Amino acid sequence: MLPSFVDRPKGNEKGEFIALDLGGTNFRVLAVNLDGKGVATVLNVSKFAVHKKYMQGTGEQLFNFIADCINSFLTENGFKRTKTYDLAFTFSFPVQQTSIAAGVLIAWTKGFTAKGVQGKDVVNLLNEALKRKHIDCIRVTALANDTVGTLVAGSYKDPICDLGVIMGTGTNACYREKRSNIKKFKGPDFEGHMIVNMEWGNFDKVRLTCYDRELDASSVNPGAMHLEKMVSGMYLGELARRVLVDGIKRDIIFLNAPHAALIFKRKGSLKTSHMSLIEGDETAGLDQVDEFLKQKGISDSTLDDRILLKRLCRLVSSRAVGLGATAIAAVIIWMDPELRQMHTVAIDGSLFENHPGFPSKMTGVLRKLYGVKAEKIAWVHSKDGSGRGAAIIAAVAAFSEKNRKMMQE
Residues serving a catalytic function are 28, 92, 146
Judging by beta carbons within 10 Å of its beta carbon (0-12, 13-18, 19+), is residue 7 exposed, middle or buried?
A: middle
Note whether 21 and 115 are within 8 A (CB).
no
What is the C-alpha separation between 65 and 25, in angstroms, rounded? Answer: 13
What is the C-alpha separation between 288 and 108, in angstroms, rounded? Answer: 37
Show the beta-strand stretches assigned E in 23-59: 26-35, 40-49
Q: What are the backbone dihedrals phi and psi of residue 278, each rounded to the nearest 5 degrees, phi first?
A: -65, -45
Q: Which of 177, 214, 222 is nearest to 195 (CA)?
A: 177
Q: Which of 384, 332, 334, 399 is nearest to 157 (CA)?
A: 384
What is the C-alpha separation between 184 and 193, in angstroms, rounded? Answer: 14
Angle between helices 233-249 and 210-218 (to 10 degrees): 120
Note whether 276 and 355 are within 8 A (CB).
yes
What is the C-alpha separation between 401 and 188, in angstroms, rounded? Answer: 17
If DSSP codes are grouped into helix, strand and coil, which group holds residue 182? coil
What is the C-alpha separation between 212 and 236, in angstroms, rounded? Answer: 10
Give CA 12 to chain center in angstroms: 26
Note whether 40 and 17 are within 8 A (CB).
no
Half-sphere exposure of 40 toward its Cβ, with a 13 Å CA cutoff? 33
If DSSP codes are grouped into helix, strand and coil, which group holds residue 109? coil
If DSSP codes are grouped into helix, strand and coil, which group holds residue 175? strand
Note whether 97 and 4 are within 8 A (CB).
yes
What is the C-alpha separation between 394 and 89, in angstroms, rounded? Answer: 9
Give CA 314 to chain center in angstroms: 22
Length of the chain: 409
